[in-house]
Protein backbone atom coordinates (compact mmCIF):
# COMPACT_ATOMS: atom_id res chain seq x y z
CA UNK A 1 0.00 0.00 0.00
CA UNK A 2 1.52 3.29 -1.05
CA UNK A 3 -0.60 6.34 -0.38
CA UNK A 4 2.16 8.91 -0.61
CA UNK A 5 2.29 11.04 -3.73
CA UNK A 6 4.89 13.66 -4.44
CA UNK A 7 2.73 16.63 -5.40
CA UNK A 8 -0.74 18.11 -5.53
CA UNK A 9 -0.72 17.64 -9.31
CA UNK A 10 -0.12 13.92 -8.91
CA UNK A 11 -2.77 13.68 -6.20
CA UNK A 12 -5.48 15.17 -8.39
CA UNK A 13 -4.20 13.65 -11.67
CA UNK A 14 -7.40 11.73 -12.55
CA UNK A 15 -10.01 14.30 -11.52
CA UNK A 16 -12.01 15.03 -14.66
CA UNK A 17 -14.63 17.54 -15.73
CA UNK A 18 -18.08 17.44 -14.06
CA UNK A 19 -16.79 15.70 -10.94
CA UNK A 20 -18.37 16.04 -7.50
CA UNK A 21 -15.69 17.32 -5.11
CA UNK A 22 -15.72 17.77 -1.37
CA UNK A 23 -13.34 20.39 0.02
CA UNK A 24 -12.48 20.83 3.70
CA UNK A 25 -12.20 24.11 5.57
CA UNK A 26 -14.25 26.79 7.31
CA UNK A 27 -13.88 30.16 5.66
CA UNK A 28 -10.20 30.22 4.72
CA UNK A 29 -9.23 28.17 7.79
CA UNK A 30 -7.96 24.68 6.99
CA UNK A 31 -8.52 24.79 3.23
CA UNK A 32 -6.47 22.56 0.88
CA UNK A 33 -4.52 25.42 -0.71
CA UNK A 34 -2.08 23.28 -2.71
CA UNK A 35 -4.79 21.10 -4.25
CA UNK A 36 -6.91 24.11 -5.22
CA UNK A 37 -3.89 25.55 -7.06
CA UNK A 38 -3.39 22.19 -8.80
CA UNK A 39 -7.05 22.02 -9.87
CA UNK A 40 -6.64 25.47 -11.42
CA UNK A 41 -3.49 24.34 -13.26
CA UNK A 42 -5.33 21.23 -14.52
CA UNK A 43 -8.24 23.37 -15.69
CA UNK A 44 -11.04 20.88 -14.99
CA UNK A 45 -14.48 22.44 -15.37
CA UNK A 46 -18.11 21.78 -14.52
CA UNK A 47 -17.20 20.92 -10.93
CA UNK A 48 -19.71 20.52 -8.14
CA UNK A 49 -18.02 21.64 -4.93
CA UNK A 50 -19.33 20.60 -1.52
CA UNK A 51 -17.71 22.97 0.95
CA UNK A 52 -19.03 24.96 3.89
CA UNK A 53 -17.93 28.21 2.24
CA UNK A 54 -16.78 29.37 -1.17
CA UNK A 55 -13.62 31.27 -0.30
CA UNK A 56 -13.09 34.95 -1.03
CA UNK A 57 -12.59 36.67 -4.38
CA UNK A 58 -8.87 36.01 -4.62
CA UNK A 59 -8.31 32.98 -2.41
CA UNK A 60 -9.59 29.48 -1.77
CA UNK A 61 -12.47 28.24 -3.91
CA UNK A 62 -12.89 31.86 -5.03
CA UNK A 63 -9.87 31.28 -7.29
CA UNK A 64 -11.72 28.44 -9.06
CA UNK A 65 -14.72 30.72 -9.52
CA UNK A 66 -12.49 33.29 -11.23
CA UNK A 67 -11.45 30.60 -13.71
CA UNK A 68 -15.10 29.46 -14.22
CA UNK A 69 -14.34 25.89 -13.15
CA UNK A 70 -17.23 25.54 -10.72
CA UNK A 71 -20.73 24.76 -11.96
CA UNK A 72 -22.38 24.22 -8.59
CA UNK A 73 -21.64 25.05 -4.95
CA UNK A 74 -23.22 23.16 -2.07
CA UNK A 75 -22.53 25.27 1.03
CA UNK A 76 -24.06 26.76 4.16
CA UNK A 77 -22.70 30.28 3.77
CA UNK A 78 -21.23 31.95 0.70
CA UNK A 79 -20.82 35.62 1.65
CA UNK A 80 -17.76 37.82 1.18
CA UNK A 81 -17.32 37.02 -2.51
CA UNK A 82 -18.28 39.50 -5.26
CA UNK A 83 -17.43 37.21 -8.19
CA UNK A 84 -19.57 34.51 -6.64
CA UNK A 85 -22.50 36.91 -6.48
CA UNK A 86 -22.03 38.00 -10.10
CA UNK A 87 -21.97 34.41 -11.41
CA UNK A 88 -24.95 33.43 -9.28
CA UNK A 89 -27.08 36.35 -10.50
CA UNK A 90 -26.08 35.71 -14.14
CA UNK A 91 -26.99 32.01 -13.87
CA UNK A 92 -23.47 30.72 -14.58
CA UNK A 93 -23.28 29.23 -11.11
CA UNK A 94 -25.80 27.04 -9.30
CA UNK A 95 -25.96 27.17 -5.52
CA UNK A 96 -27.54 24.81 -3.04
CA UNK A 97 -27.61 26.39 0.44
CA UNK A 98 -28.09 23.97 3.31
CA UNK A 99 -27.87 24.35 7.08
CA UNK A 100 -24.34 23.96 8.41
CA UNK A 101 -25.16 21.14 10.81
CA UNK A 102 -27.08 19.32 8.09
CA UNK A 103 -24.05 19.65 5.81
CA UNK A 104 -21.74 18.27 8.50
CA UNK A 105 -24.06 15.41 9.39
CA UNK A 106 -24.76 14.38 5.78
CA UNK A 107 -20.98 14.06 5.36
CA UNK A 108 -20.69 12.13 8.60
CA UNK A 109 -23.48 9.80 7.51
CA UNK A 110 -21.58 9.02 4.31
CA UNK A 111 -18.49 8.15 6.33
CA UNK A 112 -20.50 6.08 8.78
CA UNK A 113 -22.22 4.09 6.03
CA UNK A 114 -25.67 5.45 6.79
CA UNK A 115 -27.88 6.46 3.84
CA UNK A 116 -29.70 9.27 5.61
CA UNK A 117 -30.29 11.12 8.85
CA UNK A 118 -33.16 12.96 10.52
CA UNK A 119 -32.54 16.51 11.71
CA UNK A 120 -34.83 19.25 13.04
CA UNK A 121 -32.87 21.97 11.19
CA UNK A 122 -35.05 23.62 8.56
CA UNK A 123 -38.42 22.21 9.65
CA UNK A 124 -41.12 24.69 8.61
CA UNK A 125 -38.75 26.59 6.29
CA UNK A 126 -38.09 26.45 2.55
CA UNK A 127 -35.27 23.99 3.29
CA UNK A 128 -38.00 21.44 4.06
CA UNK A 129 -39.61 21.73 0.60
CA UNK A 130 -40.11 18.29 -0.90
CA UNK A 131 -38.52 16.44 2.01
CA UNK A 132 -40.00 13.74 4.21
CA UNK A 133 -41.02 15.04 7.64
CA UNK A 134 -41.24 12.54 10.46
CA UNK A 135 -42.30 13.07 14.05
CA UNK A 136 -40.27 11.49 16.86
CA UNK A 137 -41.35 12.05 20.47
CA UNK A 138 -43.52 15.02 19.54
CA UNK A 139 -40.95 16.89 17.43
CA UNK A 140 -40.68 17.11 13.63
CA UNK A 141 -37.51 16.14 11.76
CA UNK A 142 -36.44 16.26 8.10
CA UNK A 143 -34.99 13.30 6.26
CA UNK A 144 -31.64 14.32 4.75
CA UNK A 145 -29.51 12.02 2.58
CA UNK A 146 -25.83 11.18 2.90
CA UNK A 147 -23.57 12.84 0.32
CA UNK A 148 -22.07 10.93 -2.56
CA UNK A 149 -18.66 12.45 -3.32
CA UNK A 150 -16.24 11.36 -6.06
CA UNK A 151 -13.13 13.05 -4.68
CA UNK A 152 -12.66 14.57 -1.25
CA UNK A 153 -9.77 16.98 -0.70
CA UNK A 154 -8.72 17.97 2.79
CA UNK A 155 -5.96 19.75 4.65
CA UNK A 156 -4.44 18.42 7.87
CA UNK A 157 -1.60 19.55 10.13
CA UNK A 158 0.24 16.24 10.40
CA UNK A 159 -0.17 13.00 8.55
CA UNK A 160 1.71 9.74 8.24
CA UNK A 161 2.36 7.41 5.34
CA UNK A 162 -0.68 5.32 6.35
CA UNK A 163 -2.89 8.38 5.84
CA UNK A 164 -3.60 8.91 9.53
CA UNK A 165 -4.36 12.59 10.13
CA UNK A 166 -4.08 15.11 12.95
CA UNK A 167 -5.64 18.53 12.61
CA UNK A 168 -4.69 21.73 14.39
CA UNK A 169 -7.14 23.83 16.44
CA UNK A 170 -10.18 25.11 14.52
CA UNK A 171 -8.71 24.12 11.16
CA UNK A 172 -10.18 20.68 11.88
CA UNK A 173 -13.75 21.91 11.20
CA UNK A 174 -15.17 20.05 8.15
CA UNK A 175 -11.91 18.34 7.14
CA UNK A 176 -12.37 14.90 8.76
CA UNK A 177 -16.02 14.81 7.64
CA UNK A 178 -15.24 15.69 4.04
CA UNK A 179 -12.46 13.10 4.15
CA UNK A 180 -14.81 10.38 5.39
CA UNK A 181 -17.34 11.05 2.64
CA UNK A 182 -15.11 10.66 -0.43
CA UNK A 183 -14.83 7.61 -2.68
CA UNK A 184 -11.25 8.81 -3.22
CA UNK A 185 -9.81 11.06 -0.52
CA UNK A 186 -6.75 13.25 -0.95
CA UNK A 187 -5.05 14.77 2.08
CA UNK A 188 -2.45 17.51 1.98
CA UNK A 189 -0.49 17.99 5.18
CA UNK A 190 2.00 20.46 6.57
CA UNK A 191 4.12 17.67 7.99
CA UNK A 192 4.32 14.11 6.61
CA UNK A 193 5.98 11.49 8.80
CA UNK A 194 6.67 7.75 8.52
CA UNK A 195 4.07 5.37 9.96
CA UNK A 196 4.70 4.90 13.66
CA UNK A 197 5.73 8.43 14.47
CA UNK A 198 2.26 9.69 15.35
CA UNK A 199 0.81 8.47 18.63
CA UNK A 200 -2.16 6.23 17.69
CA UNK A 201 -4.07 7.77 20.60
CA UNK A 202 -3.76 11.21 19.01
CA UNK A 203 -5.08 10.40 15.53
CA UNK A 204 -8.16 12.46 14.63
CA UNK A 205 -8.95 10.57 11.42
CA UNK A 206 -7.72 7.03 10.75
CA UNK A 207 -5.97 6.48 7.44
CA UNK A 208 -8.57 4.03 6.15
CA UNK A 209 -10.46 7.10 4.92
CA UNK A 210 -7.41 8.55 3.13
CA UNK A 211 -6.21 7.23 -0.25
CA UNK A 212 -3.55 9.74 -1.26
CA UNK A 213 -1.41 11.97 0.92
CA UNK A 214 1.27 14.53 0.18
CA UNK A 215 3.29 17.15 1.96
CA UNK A 216 2.05 20.58 0.94
CA UNK A 217 4.20 23.67 0.71
CA UNK A 218 4.10 27.46 0.74
CA UNK A 219 0.94 27.70 2.84
CA UNK A 220 -0.43 31.23 2.91
CA UNK A 221 -3.03 30.54 5.64
CA UNK A 222 -4.76 33.80 4.99
CA UNK A 223 -6.74 35.39 7.80
CA UNK A 224 -10.21 36.51 6.77
CA UNK A 225 -11.01 38.79 9.74
CA UNK A 226 -7.94 39.87 11.65
CA UNK A 227 -9.17 40.96 15.07
CA UNK A 228 -6.90 41.89 17.94
CA UNK A 229 -7.23 43.39 21.40
CA UNK A 230 -5.06 46.07 22.94
CA UNK A 231 -3.03 45.05 25.95
Partner 1 sequence: MLDKNGIAKRIAREVKDGMYVNLGIGIPTLVANFIPEGTNVVLQSENGLLGIGPFPLAGEEDPDLINAGKQTITTVPGSAFFDSALSFGMIRAGKVDLTILGAMEVSENGDIANWKIPGKMVKGMGGAMDLVASARNIIVAMQHVNKAGESKLLPACSLPLTGLRCVKKIVTELAVLDVLPEGGFRLLERAPGISVDEIRNATAGKLIIEGEIPEMSL
Residue 33 CB-density burial (10 A; 0-12 exposed, 13-18 middle, 19+ buried): buried
**Touching partner 1, residues 79-138 (CB under 8 A):** 79, 85, 88-89, 97, 99-105, 107-108, 119-127
Closer CB to partner 1, residue 28 or residue 49? 28
Residue 8 phi, psi dihedral angles, 5° rounding? -65, -40
Give least dist CB 63 to partner 1, A. 17
Return d(Cα 86, Cα 126) in angstroms, integer.
23
- Given a contact cutoff of 8 angstroms between Cβ atoms, the answer to whether 203 and 172 are in contact is no
Taking Cα atoms as reference points, which of 178, 115, 120, 101 lies closest to residue 145?
115
Task: Select the residue interacting with partner 1 from 90, 130, 169, 201 (CB under 8 A).
Answer: 169
Give least dist CB 140 to partner 1, A. 9
Taking Cα atoms as reference points, which of 34, 22, 38, 3 lies closest to residue 179?
22
Closer CB to partner 1, residue 4 or residue 54? 54
Return d(Cα 123, Cα 125) in angstroms, integer.
6
Residue 85 CB-density burial (10 A; 0-12 exposed, 13-18 middle, 19+ buried): middle
Give least dist CB 231 to partner 1, A. 6
Task: Select the residue interacting with partner 1 from 39, 50, 64, 177 (CB under 8 A).
Answer: 177
Task: Select the residue interacting with partner 1 from 170, 197, 208, 217 (CB under 8 A).
Answer: 170
Task: Select the residue interacting with partner 1 from 71, 72, 215, 222 (CB under 8 A).
Answer: 222
Residues that bind partner 1 (CB under 8 A): 26-30, 52, 75-79, 85, 88-89, 97, 99-105, 107-108, 119-127, 157, 167-177, 204, 221-231
Amino acid sequence: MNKVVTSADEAIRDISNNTVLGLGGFGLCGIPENSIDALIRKGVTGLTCISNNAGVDDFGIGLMLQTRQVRKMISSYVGENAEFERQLLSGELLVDLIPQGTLATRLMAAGYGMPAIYTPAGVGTEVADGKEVRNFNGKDYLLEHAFDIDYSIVKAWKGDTQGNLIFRMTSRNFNPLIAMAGKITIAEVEELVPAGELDPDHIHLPGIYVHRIFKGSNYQKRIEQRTVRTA
